[in-house]
Chains A and B, each alone.
Chain A
Amino acid sequence: GAVVSQHPSWVICKSGTSVKIECRSLDFQATTMFWYRQFPKQSLMLMATSNEGSKATYEQGVEKDKFLINHASLTLSTLTVTSAHPEDSSFYICSARGSLNGEAFFGQGTRLTVV
């Protein structure tokens, strides 16, 4: 299957700082990217959907000013967690879907720990 790469795979940051997570589609052009969050022993929760060159669509209850999403190119989307707090500690996963088919492929995830 297609390859989606996330970076970093893990990050520890201090409370109040911002963290940027990158998601790249390595061998296809991703017209749509999705960002998920997963807390321990829970399922993936969709945070937002972004289409290249347009504003992201956020799911209900997700603060768009706190979780900034940029999808400036067909191979890169970024999620910035602004003013992070310990409750933002979670596993963040991106997914990308190309224009040639509808299958979604996932990155390996980023474990964020806010101390």
Chain B
Amino acid sequence: DAKTTQPTSMDCAEGRAANLPCNHSTISGNEYVYWYRQIHSQGPQYIIHGLKNNETNEMASLIITEDRKSSTLILPHATLRDTAVYYCIVRVGGAAGNKLTFGGGTRVLVKP
């Protein structure tokens, strides 16, 4: 699976949008971009994934650049409960995709 690069940490203000960048310059054509988050002392939680089109669900939006070498996860209105480590992972999607390999992630602190 392709490697991803994320900032180590970032702060954001409660109620504002949080934009989390991820670089994946070696991504292959059949690899999806997945985002998970891990709140302290819990298991990771799936957020969203996409291939090349932008995606939105009730939790977040995922913006993937046209060349697919980078993406941004957007939390539209950050709350204190969004404080977590956010992981950007690329892997082959569907049942053909195998293990999820976690990098360092971005530690996001939402401040009042």
> A95 contacts which chain B residues (CB < 8 A)?
43-44, 100
Interface segment among B14-22, B61-69, B75-83, B102-110: the answer is: B102-110
Interface on chain A toward B: helix, strand, loop, or mixed SS?
Answer: strand
Q: How many residues of A contact B (CB 8 A)?
A: 28
The binding surface of chain B is classed by DSSP as: loop
Name the CB-closest residue of A to B103: A43
Is B45 close to A, CB under 8 A? Answer: yes
**Contact between chains at B43 and A46 (CB < 8 Å):** no
Distance of A32 from chain B, by nearest CB (Å): 8
Least distance between A36 CB and chain B CB atoms (Å): 8
Interface string of A44-63 (1 = CB under 8 A from B): 11100100000000000000
Which residues of B in the span 20-69 have a Cβ within 8 Å of any Cβ on A?
Answer: 36, 38, 41-46, 49
Could you say which of A11-19, A64-72, A74-82, A97-105 contacts chain B? A97-105
User: Given the complex of chains A and B, what is the CA–CA distance between A91 and B42 in angstroms?
Assistant: 9
- Chain B nearest Cβ from A28, distance in angstroms: 13
Residues of B near A1 (CB, < 8 A) are: 46
Interface residue tally for chain B (C-beta within 8 Å): 23
Closest to A108 in B: B43
CA distance A104 to B45 in the complex (A): 9
Write out, one digit per residue, whether chain B residues 89-112 have a CB within 8 A of any chain A CB (1) or not (0). Answer: 000011111111111110000000
Q: How many angstroms from the CA of A31 to the CA of B38 in the assembled complex? A: 24
Instruction: Say which residue of A31, A91, A107 sits within 8 Å of B41 (CB atoms).
Output: A91
- Whether B102 contacts A44 by the Cβ 8 Å rule is yes
Interface 0/1 of A22-53, CB less than 8 Å to B: 00000000011010100000011110010000
Q: Closest 10 CB pairs between A and B? A: A106-B43, A102-B94, A44-B102, A43-B102, A109-B43, A106-B44, A93-B43, A102-B97, A108-B43, A102-B95
- Listed in ascending order, the chain B residues whose CB lies under 8 Å from chain A are 36, 38, 41-46, 49, 87, 93-105
